[in-house]
Structure 1
């Protein structure tokens, strides 16, 4: 079955997102033709919203989003024929635990070390930073490579092991509380109050 992909993405203006949604439609085409299961790479919330707007137009397929934890920012979408059961789908993501870390290591350090291995960002989900360790959600297809190759984060020696998805915990959330007196609840006044702009 050949889809008229342009009609599904006509409303999208961002060039990069058009390419991403064409890839989603390629997966839909495979599901419809082969009655198989397809998984996207990790998508951010905006990309998932675009993908849902496309996927909801097909009655013959179902989909589900997986990110390791329910509050995950980056998730994959599993696309499958509507007559499949959830148990038939499988889980194409793996959780890794990185130990031996320093409290000075940040999300950027972990992401940089993984990307430095030559891995595409789309294969990596959320990175959950904890006091003495970090948890990283990745596509299962690259998990063994990371287990073997990730030996340093920043200048700190680390060890990596696979863990169950059920063992994932939300990481620490860095935020700064700001108090400001603003003249109205308009967005521009909220932003200027938060960044101390006049």
Structure 2
């Protein structure tokens, strides 16, 4: 695959991501072995999906350990095992690992997602080596790249917060599925411009919303958007880094003053 096709991409980060994907595709073809990328956020997944469609590359699968995960790795596989992949007859335990942290009684219910993620970052683990972190009151199942598994098993218990915790590797089919609670909120805006909606969702001024956009912290349908005037539609998904993920569920009408009433799931 000729890397000159990347010249049409102006964003250097996008070029680097796609270049790495191309390398993985080349390794897969030459070695006839499954190749796996680091974990990708939704925006990077969308970028790669569009690229692969244009290049007519089909022997791939985005996988995060179990169905329904947000952060996924890209698996590139030889064509000869396509039927096995499609029939779910290939185990991915070799490529993606899971560490389970079970808290002692005195710590049950004390830790949230940010506590577990912060612990991994403190140990020097890069974000791209970490998939979803599935948290309940008793602990967490942390999906990770295989290359950091042994290090984490050896070092997580050195952290004060996990000194009394049970830490072990589990299989992918042992992951506890945690239902994420969602709430529906109602906001009113003068128009469906993105900056208006960001201001309401982030509880900030319009000028601050524009700063958030300029800082490239906003994604609409997994695409990074910086244009304040972009029109938002029903069913659009909006991610604001540092604030969370939102979906425009319904535009229900107008207030007496003409403002638009929107139901948003968060």
Tell me which interval the TM-score lies in, with the shorter structure as reference length.
0.7 to 0.9
Return closer, same or farther for 1:11/1:69 CA change in 2, 3 Å cut-off: farther
- Per chain length, whose mean CA-contact separation is higher, i.e. which structure has more relative contact order (CA < 8 Å, sep 6+)? 1
* Cα drift, residue 141 of structure 1: 2.7
* Cα drift, residue 33 of structure 1: 2.3
- Say which SS state the counterpart of residue 21 (structure 2) adopts: helix
Q: Normalising by structure 1, what TM-score? A: 0.82
| 1:86-101 mapped onto 2 (5 Å cutoff) | 86=85, 87=89, 90-91=92-93, 92-100=95-103, 101=107
Question: 4+ residue stretches of structure 1 with deviation over 4 A?
Answer: 57-61, 174-177, 183-186
* Mapped partners of 2:155, 2:90: distance in 1: 31
Determine if contact 2:3/2:19 at 8 Å carries over to the other structure: yes
Give the match for residue 54 of structure 1.
51
- Say which SS state the counterpart of residue 146 (structure 1) adopts: helix
Alignment coverage as a number of residue pairs: 195
Confirm or deny that 1:119 pairs with 2:125.
Answer: yes
Return closer, same or farther for 1:60/1:12 CA change in 2, 3 Å cut-off: closer
Give the match for residue 5 of structure 1.
3
Give the match for residue 69 of structure 2.
72
* Mapped partners of 1:89, 1:74: distance in 2: 19
Could you list the runs of 5+ residues in structure 2 that have no partner in the other structure?
Answer: 207-266
Q: Normalising by structure 2, what TM-score? A: 0.63
Return closer, same or farther for 1:186/1:168 CA change in 2, 3 Å cut-off: same
* Mapped partners of 2:200, 2:57: distance in 1: 49
Could you list the runs of 5+ residues in structure 1 that have no partner in the other structure?
Answer: none
Which segment drifts farther, 38-47 or 106-115? 106-115
